[in-house]
Structure 1
């Protein structure tokens, strides 16, 4: 195997591919998969990415070295493991294990790391390569990322980039990295331009990088400052905009639910229905019917 084989290649070919149960891959920004492996050797060659693993079951003895020296521990459900880029892991497990893996391509994410800590840190400096560790923040981010992947299918570029920034920031914090402080939120002009761009491209898979460029900020700093200004992350705000627009189209037009889904940036009526129900507690069709009935009732009184 070549030293620069990717995470996606390693788990997408030969024997390794038979262990993969689910895969959620947003175009190379992050690769997210769930695998189930029998006990024994689960070592891998040097991969090009930083890889975060989460144990989905717990109770497995794991012995190995993932870039920070040898470790020997019994895993816990939800426990996290970090594998260094360009390091050939030696890992043994004593029984069947189910794991979720999330990879960060170094070329795409080193710049985010540089922005977070003003170029004073690298992936090699992370202090979490010696077996299991815990982080409620990372567990929450992974849980939300997986749930949103289930709702939306392949996660959007905005979702993937924002989730990656959040997780990478926490990995740095746990490693003692000195964060660059951010004071205040977005400047009023930058905020206005970003919101106009989100409204104008509601039907597209807009990226965090594009929004950050509009504000002339790095993606990492933009995501933090956007939340300070508007109270929610960019991804959540975009979903709110899409729900508002979907409601408007359901109320005022005869467009089909499928057409409305495409108008607000979702791939199908099923995706829209799942997200709409989560936020409105009613299906799009029932929402339209209810609004029409209320309007009819008011006009006949």
Structure 2
């Protein structure tokens, strides 16, 4: 035990003696190391300036990054008004956005409306071109195929020629007052056609009935007979030769005898058509018994609407 304590005490004295001994240091050497250390040291002012310069550059870099981000966001807003994808927080929002896609109810309505408008336009143009083709085909070169000059008398006793038909459309029918059934039916249809066309186009149609029986259909007889159907229907009559020439111009067949004694009974046969003539006296279309009043009125009204030249309405006012 005592030997161990002696050893510890001797070690402590050795350490103490070593610490107490300090060899002399040259002053020049101390200055040399001091000067060397001073060369590598940075003054506090320069260090503070360096730190502030670094902070300024960092702030500038941050500002530049912020400006670039703002520009990018502005460009995104210029080309798109929808919300960005990163703002869609929930699955329901994403599904709702993707579910609609480029097609929605408004787009569907616009598409259907546009398609319907185009279909209606092209259908109307197709029908108009067909009517124009029919009207052009029926016109003769130099001399009309149907229709021409005539000189007759109306049911008021006034002269009436083909020139009096100028200025508006005319609907010409050939019949006679003693017709048992066909002529009354067709004149009823003519009255309905006239009223329907008048509702759509105004007073643009002149309804005429030219008799095929001039021996019995005098102006007074025609005026009383046609008053039962419509006051606008104008009856025309004349001599046998004038009626025959008029029927020839319109390509109408009739079998009235040329010489008839007073009170003698005879049969009259004739073609059953309505002849539509345009404001220039040219034949447009023949309307047969297979057309109803509504169908015939629609055909006439369409032709009147297709007419592009001015009409002489003042002479029929």
What TM-score do the two structures reach when normalised by structure 2?
0.21
Structure exhibiting the larger radius of gyration computed from Cα positions? 2
More strand by share: 1
- TM norm structure 1: 0.21
**Is the helix fraction higher in 1 or 2?**
2
